[in-house]
Structure 1
């Protein structure tokens, strides 16, 4: 008996018109499932996925498909590794007050979807962090698809490694003290480029300065 191929699936982009079938009969469309499952863009899970897509779009890295368990969120055409975190003052559920803004920055072990194996090294694997804040504070007009309601804070990962080496979360006030580049969507690519190139320069200059 032949051994089945259990390697990673090749995932292609789907479109909303693809049918959901039962016994050869169409019982729905993929777009209907997407609308059912993904319309609440204010909840933490979907807001996070949307934030990744917005950053990927700004960086020209949204042409493929999202890899759920990759060691970093985005890999750009320049091979920069970008980690994306999101937070918001408003949630989709009832609130007694605005949410306090904090982001996860915990170092982690890495899982490779191509091999199914986990690295034992606990670290931050990106070159750049993009902290995406849905800053809008009026629940009646909240719209995560309105990019004017977002602010982006961009920071080289090395700054977190130097200043917050084992820290798991960071509040907005503390993040701002690290002097990230703050921008709207239109300046996001420029900010990430500046931080990524600064990181590359640090790596290239390290052998020269260590002696």
Structure 2
């Protein structure tokens, strides 16, 4: 019988770790990060950056991101947060600003420890944070500037009641659901407000 292979949990690194051969450094992890992950405007990295920004606001950015987990952020006390991002500006050439749309489709869950899929399609988080990179000038676009973001916080229960089977949500449809609009400074209070699921 083949023994099951356990998970390899991510270990938080500093960036100083060398890329090495026979004890000789040929680069370091920070160099790799700069080479591979400087394109913060692209959809994939912008989404990861949005998760990090929300984790910073919630005081839980000390760990590591778990790819493909069933929710994006797990808070002490059990509250679970789903983070979605969108932007008017893309990294490619545009003839006009992008329309704003967020994915809200119920999905299967994946257990990062066991590697097993939970087949029921659900929205597993208690609260959604919709992160809009609102800046509209490419010359001055800076996703690291928190003033260029606006955040909308909505309990998952509202989505399930009014948009149960919907897979995407435009900005106008989101605003019709009366989310809490916040800047970075107010985001923690908005997410931890009563009525968003588990107690903090």
Question: TM-score of the superposition, structure 1-length normalised?
Answer: 0.91
Q: Which residue of structure 2 lines up, in the alignment, with residue 35 of structure 1?
A: 34
CA RMSD of aligned residues (A): 1.6
Unmatched tracts of structure 2, length 5 or more: none
Is 1:111 matched up with 2:106? Answer: no
Cα distance in 2 between the residues matched to 1:3 and 1:122: 31
Q: CA deviation at 1:78?
A: 3.0
Unmatched tracts of structure 1, length 5 or more: 204-211
Q: CA deviation at 1:21?
A: 0.8
Q: CA deviation at 1:24?
A: 2.4
Q: Which residue of structure 2 lines up, in the alignment, with residue 198 of structure 1?
A: 195
Q: CA deviation at 1:25?
A: 1.6
Which structure would you say has the larger Rg?
A: 1
Alignment of 1:53-68 (within 5 A): 53-68=52-67
Q: Which residue of structure 2 lines up, in the alignment, with residue 48 of structure 1?
A: 47
Alignment of 1:168-187 (within 5 A): 168-187=167-186
- Taking CA–CA contacts closer than 8 Å with sequence separation of 6 or more, which of the two structures ends up with the larger relative contact order? 2
Report if the CA contact (8 A) 2:82-2:129 is conserved: yes
Report if the CA contact (8 A) 2:127-2:197 is conserved: no
Report if the CA contact (8 A) 2:130-2:153 is conserved: yes
Cα distance in 1 between the residues matched to 2:154 and 2:9: 32
Alignment of 1:1-211 (within 5 A): 6-194=5-193, 197-200=194-197
Cα pair distance change 1:106/1:141, threshold 3 Å: same
More strand by share: 2
Cα distance in 2 between the residues matched to 1:16 and 1:113: 24
Alignment coverage as a number of residue pairs: 199
More helix by share: 1
Q: Deviations along 1:25-46, whole A, 9 cap, x unmatched?
A: 2111000000001111100001
Report if the CA contact (8 A) 1:60-1:77 is conserved: no
Cα distance in 2 between the residues matched to 1:54 and 1:107: 23
